[in-house]
Amino acid sequence: MSNQPTFDARTEFDRQLGNLVARDYPALAGMSQDEFAELLAPLRELVTDSAPGPVPFLLVLTRHIVPIEQTMPRTTLHGKHQPGFVDHSFEPGALERFVPTEQTGLAGHRAYLLLDVDRGEEFCGVVPAEAMATISDRSRTPLTIEEGIALITQFPELLVKNKCFSLGGSRSDDRRVPAIWISKHAPKLGWCWQGNPHTWLGMASAGGRLLPTAVQ
């Protein structure tokens, strides 16, 4: 018999929801805790115990509920207290232009589940454009900015030195690729050029998304 603990998807969903509540997401969204839980309740019915990977699913809220400028400071490194931040290299108005790519199918969605998430450390040292092409060939999808923030919010232990990650699912009208790495002992949302590899920066990806119409 296996001694490994049984994964309970709804228990994990409740943990993620509780983590968002503890980080004041309902207030940031202009909702009561009950309203916030009711909004996300349809997603709880979609999680399954058989989902694969170290991060089987991730509860994602987009900027349509809480702005990136407010969610990034709610992140920390594992066991640390310094709040995450948006790098000053994003000029005024830049974040608004970094939107989900057409391939993600996320236009207008407010909350959903991201499935089978991987931080993509195998792509450390790989040109971001090449990493995104490989991810596409595998029928996977690169993460958006909001998905990257959700990942380190729920699993801060995944953001560690030399294993940080780009977020190729959000792009602007230029060659920049958003990324999250460590700076000043805290998570930082910045960007790198799509043609420049970094030994400490991979490309995060997921197996897919569940986008229920009930929480659009």
Amino acid type, 176: R
Question: Would you state the pLDDT for residue 109?
Answer: 84
Question: Would you state the pLDDT for residue 52?
Answer: 66
Q: What's the gap between Cα 189 and its chain centre?
A: 11
Amino acid type, 147: E
Alpha-carbon distance 57 to 51, whole Å?
Answer: 7
Question: Would you state the pLDDT for residue 70?
Answer: 97
pLDDT less than 70: residues of the chain: 1-5, 51-52, 214-216
Residues 6+ apart with CB under 8 A from 59: 13, 16, 17, 20, 40, 43, 111, 113, 150, 154
Alpha-carbon distance 120 to 133, whole Å?
Answer: 13
| Closest C-alpha to 57, from 214, 210, 166 | 210
DSSP class of residue 83 equals P
| pTM, two decimal places | 0.94
What's the pLDDT tens digit per position in 118-139?
999 999 999 999 999 999 999 9
What's the pLDDT tens digit per position in 7-36?
799 999 999 999 999 999 999 999 999 999
Alpha-carbon distance 77 to 55, whole Å?
Answer: 17
Alpha-carbon distance 95 to 204, whole Å?
Answer: 19
Beta bridge partners of 61: 111
* Contact of 72 with 189, CB cutoff 8 Å: yes
Per-residue tokens: 100: 């989900």
* R_g over Cα of the chain: 16
Query: How is the chain split into domains, by residue range?
Result: 9-210
Alpha-carbon distance 37 to 116, whole Å?
Answer: 23
Question: Would you state the pLDDT for residue 50?
Answer: 73
Per-residue tokens: 39: 């909004």
Question: Would you state the pLDDT for residue 211?
Answer: 85
